[in-house]
Amino acid sequence: MLFQVEMDVRIPRDLPEAEAAELKSVERARAQELQQAGKWRHLWRVAGRYANISIFDVSSPQELHDILSTLPLFPFMEIAVTPLCRHPSSIREDDT
């Protein structure tokens, strides 16, 4: 199942800089791990915001929730999820 996930990150201003930097580093490693595993298929930065739009390929909404909740920045995210399905006019075979 494909899901579009919009993540807006709102790290508190009073979080110590070293702690924020560590969270971002661990977040990057987790995101790359999920991309290499094929779960996080696409990742785009939203220009001008600390936000991204991503496509996840998972077996269920529960799996998506479980993955998102493992992200180190999850406590600081506002997340919107949209389920996706293949468009009948798509010429790609790998977008199911």
The CATH number assigned to the domain holding 17 equals 3.30.70.1060
Strands (E), 1-96: 2-9, 40-45, 51-57, 77-84
Residue 51 lies in a domain: yes
Residue 95 lies in a domain: no
Residue 91 lies in a domain: no
Residue 23 lies in a domain: yes
Per-residue model confidence (pLDDT) at position 86? 85
Q: Which runs of consecutive H residues, i.e. helices, occur in 11-60?
A: 17-36
Other Cβ atoms closer than 10 A to 68 = 19
Per-residue model confidence (pLDDT) at position 96? 62
Per-residue model confidence (pLDDT) at position 67? 98
pTM over 0.75: yes
Residue 87 lies in a domain: no
- What string of pLDDT tens digits covers the 96 residues of the chain? 999 999 999 999 999 999 999 999 999 999 999 999 999 999 999 999 999 999 999 999 999 999 999 999 999 999 999 999 988 898 887 766
